[in-house]
Structure formats: structure tokens, C-alpha cells
Structure 1
Amino acid sequence: MTTDAPAEQIGFADLRLRPELLRALAGLGYEEPTPIQREAIPPLLDGRDLLGQAATGTGKTAAFALPVLQRISQDGGGAEPSALVLVPTRELAMQASEAIHRYGRDLGTRVLPVYGGQPIGRQLRALERGVDVVVATPGRALDHIGRGTLRLDSLETLVLDEADEMLDMGFAEDIDAILEGTPADRQTVLFSATMPARIDAMARRHLRGPVRIQIEREKPAPGETPKVRQSAYVVARAQKPAALGRVLDVESPEATIVFCRTRDQVDQLTETLNGRGYRAEALHGGMGQEQRDRVMGRVRGGTADLLVATDVAARGLDIEQLTHVVNYDVPSAPESYVHRIGRVGRAGREGVAITLAEPREHRMLKAIERTTRRQIRVEKVPTVADLRARRLELTRAALQESIVEDDLDRFRVVVETLTDEFDVMDVALAAVKLAHEAGGAAVDEEEIPEVAPRGGRGDREGRGAPGRGPRGTRAPAEGMTRLFIGAGRSAGIRPQDLVGAIAGESRLSGRDIGSIEIADRFSLVEVPASAVDEVIRALRGTTLKGRKPIVRRERDRAG
């Protein structure tokens, strides 16, 4: 079957997936399956072999991973792997392994990436303990099979992802050797971006009556080569709203979509942006059609220049004047990124794609770069000086346009009168100053702290200093309790103020304090559950910015 046009609107719940998988998908922001997922998941759940032609960025990983996880969860995990996924490169192995781990988190699925360049001892220990899914490059998989450390006697599903690329890299013999050593009744899944004769021959040798699926990537119309400038900024979560505003001020977009993962995040960010003077509108699945129409009317009419939306809510929207797409978080799947940035850079115009990445998300950008085959430049958040320079440039451009296009003769008498008393340069400077200030040129004087990308869990970002970010509506970390403090940004509260007060008045140190969220009128701080009462007493006995705030355990917030 070939899929070119959108199929009927169905959700993941319609695909017979387990509740644990549906929860994981919802938590990752997946609201509707992509075409490859709609077509592939049902036959794979039925145990059929599958031959799929689909390019990178179409959602292949979830298409094969979800049925694999469902099958493991029903049969129960054993000491030997139930599924083996072969991929051409270590980057793809890491990417697919991370994705499968996220999807199967609630099922406790054991996933192991196996590739060259990684200490083999760690792989050996994990295989000895037992794994459910192995994601491997063919050479390293064959190495483990030869050692007897990767046993495939219990294998139920074998996936060949990016099969054409594996053949191009010379893995044909390795793949054949691996396939020959697997049970004859296994389920085999083969995905390839192209279908040359050798892929078809491999499918005939190793697949049994496969379902054939072909997914076409959406193509631009003739002459409409997308041109998208892609960049990213690594910022702490607590600084994201300020960083977004700073970047938007420097970019001066005509119209922007800011993508968020959840409805709650959309509502919170829209409120924050409007409170900072931007004209932002929210769009998500919790809104009725009449509400959506009003929002889009304001965006298309130019009375709003920022649309904050979830992926599903923004699906199918056509905004002619759209120039910028912002990923408020790094998308959890590279295909989501591809779909988002495809909204700009059409009809020969240049578009801009901006991603705000937390330090721990920096490595996820590499997976996206491989998917898009384009570099994402990691840039520094504009400084106060950068913003001042940009706003002066906008004032200069506005004055230049006025000089060229406007009829200025009626103001000549004012200039001539003033130059009788003042130097003409002084008159011009005063006029520029007034024009600059009339353009709303007030600058936020607070610099946004620069943070370094983070590779591992142990590299904690500032231990509660300004780099610590909020958890939004997520549950507190294990062993932690979230406190509500009745003072926030409007009172001048900063993360370091809260850390200093807690560390100075209790037995906790800065490293004991968890994530911090600062809103306009309140703050939320995570502290060890064992020290909650002590911290509450300590904060109630001190002052923050000259006042004694309300301090209590956080109550559940309505979504």
C-alpha cells in the first residue's frame, strides 16, 4: 500500500496499544500517529512480517518499537533478547535505543545499544544480566554472536532499519549471517528509504509474505526549495521565557509559531509572554473550534504575532506570513522537528527555525542534525548589548524608510527653527532619541546566565543556582517534595535568593536543593522530603527581599 494523503484521523488508542504505552506517548507529546505508524502498527501487532519504504523523519522508530514493546510486555521478558534492531551507525543505535527506552519506561523494558567505540565490558555485563531489546550495528552484533554473549534462540522480532544504508556501508554479509542464526519463526521487519533490487532480493530471502507499505515524504512544489536557517540556544529551563523573548526581540519576526509539548505549557507560556508585552495567542486541543477560529483570525489579521501551540493543534495550519518556528523544548522525536520546520522556508522564502535546548538536551540536537542532514548552529543567547544594538538598528531602518518614502516638508519649519539655536547634529540626535523611545525600546537589563551543554546525569547544572529550571506540572523527583513560596519574579526573587535562604537557614546545602520554578507571584522549590518541615520553619522565620512570604507544601494544581 502507498500512503500519499492524510488518512482518517485516528489516535494511538485506536491501534490497540497497551495503556502503559499510551501513557508514555502522551507524556512525550505524541497525540496522533504519523502515516507510517498508522499503516505499520496494526499488521506488526498481528505478527506479520513487514517491508516498508519510508524516509528518515517519517516516524519509523515508533512504528516498529511500539509493537515490539507490546509483544515483550505480553510474553514477559527473559534472559535473552526478544527483539534485535539492526541499524547502520552508532548514532542511530543510540537514538533508537533512547526512543525505545522512553516508550517502554512504564513497562520496565531493558534496552541495550550495542555499537563499536563503546567499552565492550559494559555491553557484556548488561547482556549477562539479561536484556529485552538489543539495538546494534551489524558488525558489533556479529562480534557478540561469535563470542556467545548475544544469544538469539529466543528472538521473536528482528528489525532492519535503514537497510539500504547498511548495504551501502558493506554490511550485507554480516546481515545475512545474523539472519541465518535467528529462529525461523521470527517476525522480520525491514525499513528502507529506497527499494533497489538488492533490498527486494533480501526481502524475498528472509521475509515471509510481508505486508508492503510505502510512505511518501511530503515534497515541496516545483521551484519551492525550502530554505531554513536552523539555530539553537542552550539555556537553563528557568531562563527559557527570558531567553525566548530576547531571541525574538533580536530576530524581529513577522509571525512565529512556538511549539510546546503540552496544553498546560502552552497556556503558561502564552500568559508569561503576554505579561512581558508580546502579542501571543494559545492554540491546543482543549479549545473549541470557535475559539480556534478566533485565534487564527487574530494571527492572520496581524493583531497577534506569536502563536503558542501543540503539534496536533497546529497541524494543517497555513499562515502565509509565518517566518519563524520555535521549539520551546527539543522535540522528543527528530521527525517532529522535521514536520515543524517544514512550515517555514517555502516558496523560495527564507525561514528560521530556533530551538531552546536545556543542557541535558544538547546531545538530542545531534540526532536531529542527522535526520535533517543539516547543521544546527548552537549560538549564544543575545546579551543586553546585543539587544540594544539591534533596537538601534531597527530605529535606523525606520528612519531611513521615512526619509526615502515620506513627505517630510511639513516638519521643515521645526528643524529650521531649532537649528537657529542648536547644532543640526544635536537636533538630529534628539529626534532619533524620541523615535527610538517611541518604538518601545526599553531593554531588560538582566543578563541571562550562560550554561554549558551537559552530557551525563552527574553533571548537575549549578546545583540550584540560576541555571536550575522548573519542572512545570511534572511530579517532583523521587524523594523530593515541592514547596510553595508566596513571592516570585514581581518581588525580585531569583533562584540564588531561594538557594541562599534555604542553605543559610537550614542544614541543607545548595546541592541538596532540587529544581526551582519562579513565576510572577510565587515560586516552587524542590527539597528532600525528609527536610520539608525544617525548611518550612526556617523560611517562615526569615525574610526574602524584605518581606516574610507564605511558605507551605505545594497543593495539587489543576491542569
Structure 2
Amino acid sequence: MSEFESWQITPAVAARLDNLGWTPASVDGIDALVPIVRGTSVVSVLPPVPATAAPIAAAILSGLSSRGGRVLVLTTPALVGEWGATMAAITAGTPWRIEAARGPARAGRRIKADEVDVVIAAPETALTLLTRSALAPDAVTTIVLAWPEDWDAEEAVTVLLQDLPKDAQRVVITARPEQAGALVERYARRALLFGAPSADPAVGSPALPALRESARTLATSWPGRAAAVAELIDATDPSDATIWTVDTRDHELLRIALGGGAEGVRIVMRGAPLSGVVICYDPPARADLPAFASTDDLTILVPPGTEGHVARIVTRRRPVQAATSAAALLTRDAALRSEITRELAGGTLDAPLYALGPLFERHEAQAIAAAVFALWRRAVAPAAPSANAAGASASTPVGGIAATKIWVGVGKKDEATVGDLVAVMVKELGVDRTLIGRIELRDTFALVEVPEADAERIAARLTGLTIRRRKLVARVDRGPGESRGGSGAPRGGPRGGGSGGFRAPRADRR
């Protein structure tokens, strides 16, 4: 009998946790398991590494076996695949059916055919499944919000959670509970908190370990970690090396990747003794840092979605330099490199990392950086004037399609929100959520980016609908040159100080 059965984990899933090397003593916030099994809403503090949430997932599945329904895991696009691998590891040999939805097509077909018990998706993908009637709201009994502080999907989350059952269990997994507080208050009120250090000395919670002073970091994709470790060991040729992992799920994959180069290399999971050069296959939690105190040579793999976490636990990070064609160009564009360095040092990069996350799974980080750099160079370069520049209206791409803005006569003074506008367009007009661009909410009106070809139709259909008890008037925005007088002019008048028309492409906005 597995020790996890004492925590109400079903025998089949408990056996899988045992096979992965987990014990109750190795689970951070283990007291959360029983409330999760019983259907209680919970907030669990864990680093943004899906493998660390395997016991939480086991508790969710154990509760699902008694309550029925479907689990919806919402996470960043970069973590969808890794969540799928984690779920697959703890459900192997069980009847649970998992779908890591990187897009709506296959997932929608499987859900409609009732072939899925657990859906893992980014909020935008889940919203698309909902609007296409593939994901039935009433069937969802547990909603997992995995590291929502790293999302850049407020509009999609607002619309999505408005339609999902209010009494569905909420399990929030966060690395920064202070930043996820507003979302927890709105969508998981009275949830029990586990794993966060207490600020009250009377509670007697242990102090947080000191930060790591210095470590090397190696950016890689989630599926490419084993190959990255093998290449690193081949390049550095250590006589003694330890590969540290959260659990044993990928140990065999690492052995295969190392091939004949495994001599002098140990593969261990958390809690085991460490020696020689240490490579963290999974980014460690802050609570794990004391285990590396005696390690002088530490390299941490940094897959997409973990960049901020690693920056918070390591004071000085030294990126491992891969031998690439970019090395010959290091002396070029010094001014632009300095600007990038300043952005890395002081910028908040959660939203850009969220947007680029899916690309890190398919392309090398250096290639993505080079492509973004090229787009940036084109965006900041002065454009040559065209013959019809004076009368032309600019356009912003939405989903790769030329777009324009529509003016909607409702704003902040009407207590309207961005979510209200998205909800009306998606539910009432049937507009695909992915085709709605930037929404600028002003005091008395809003500007909404939509595909240029559909702008007139959308504006006409919006006119007459209601948001917050206000009847809408909408039209295609023509910029400050358009006359706003006349009896038919929408309220709000000219937008003082606004540029009208459109902003530059998103590539040059920070």
C-alpha cells in the first residue's frame, strides 16, 4: 500500500507517484492534498515547473474519481506540453484521458466525442473551445489556474470564467501569491492557502533560505532539455557531474540522450546527495537552495515560463554561451544591444515571454531573438513617405490580418470593462476571440481593433446592443481628421491629445 493512500489519493494514482520517486516527505504543501480531494478550493505555492505539481494533480484526479465531471487546467502556452507530460506520467495505466490542447481543432473533436477527462490549455484556446461549443461549461467541475501571475490574457480569462460554473472547485498554483492575490480574490475567494511562508512569527514557519549568489543558466525548450544537458556535458567534459531533477520521470530520457557519455554522470532527484558539477534539469524551488550550498559549479536549465522564477532565486546569472553563428556579429549594433540590456535589467518581461512561449517549443531561443530583433529594426527604422500617405489610414495586424479600429460609445464612466466588450463581441456577434486586437478603454468611449474587412459589419451589429444598461453606438474610427459634428455624432467628441487612427505595430511597443 502506498503512503499516499493515507492522504486519500486513489491507489492507482498513488502507485504512479511512488514510481516517480515521490514520498509524502518530498511534497511541498502536502496538507493541501486532502482538501483538494474533497473538492475544496485551494491556493498552492510552487515554482512554475509542472513536475512539482504532480502530487496536486494526483489529488485532483482522485477527487474527480468520486465527483465525476471534467478538469480544466489553464496555463501559459509555453507550459501546456509540459503539463500534458506531467499528467500523462501520473495517469499511465489508469483510465484517465488527457488532452494538452495546443490548438482548438484536435482538442475540440476529442472533447465533443467525450474522449477527454482533463483539458490542458492556454486561456485563449480554452475560450475558443467554449465559443465553438466544444467545451461544455456545466461539465467542468474543477478549474486549475496554473501560475496565473505569468499570464497576459486578462480579457480571455474574464470571459471564460464568467461562463464556467461558479461552484466549480478552483485550484490556484502560484509562485508569487502576492501578485496572484487579485485573481484569487475574484475567482477563488475563501480558498485555503498552502506552501506560503507565514509573515507571523507566532506561526513558527521556517525562514526562507538565502538566495543563490551565482549560477550559470542555460535557456532551452521543455522537450529539448535532455539534449541540452547532453550537449552541455559533451562541451564541458566534467570528470564528476550530477543531474538533479524534481522526480524520476525523465531519467530514462536523460540516459538515452547521454548515450555513451554517461560515465561519471549521476542522475538523481531532490533529496539525494550531490557532487561535482551540478546541472538542474528542473529549476529548483527556493526551499531547495540549501541542497546546493556546497556546490560551486551549478547550472540551471531555464525552459520557457521559468525565467522570472530563476531570476528571483539567483542573484547573479551567467548565461551559458552556445557556439552559434551569432558569435561573429557581437560587435555590431552596440547601441541597440545596450538598449536590450537595459530592458533585461529593468523591464517587466512577463507579457512578452507569454506571447513568445509557443515559439520556444519549436525554435531555438537564439533564432527567435534574431527574428524579433529584425522585426524591431524594421519597426524603428523611419518609413519612406508614400504618394498617398496624407490620406491613408494605418492598420495594425490582428492575428496576421490587416485591422482597423471601431469607436464604441461606452467607457469607464459607464463602469464598462474590457471583458464586457469582448463578451458582447464573442457571444452576441460570434467574433472569433483571436481576431479581437487591442482594446483602449477611455472615460466615455472605447476603441477596439478588429479585422479591417469586417469592421463595418461589426460596428453596425454592435449598434443597438447594451453594455451596463447603456445602448451602444459604434462606427469605424477614422482618426482625428474625420468630422465629429452633426446630430449623428456619438457622444464623447474629439479625443483631445489622441493620435487617432492607429498605433505603430506592436513590435516597437514596450
TM range (shorter): 0.3 to 0.5
TM-score norm. by structure 1 comes to: 0.44
Higher Cα Rg: structure 1 or 2? 1
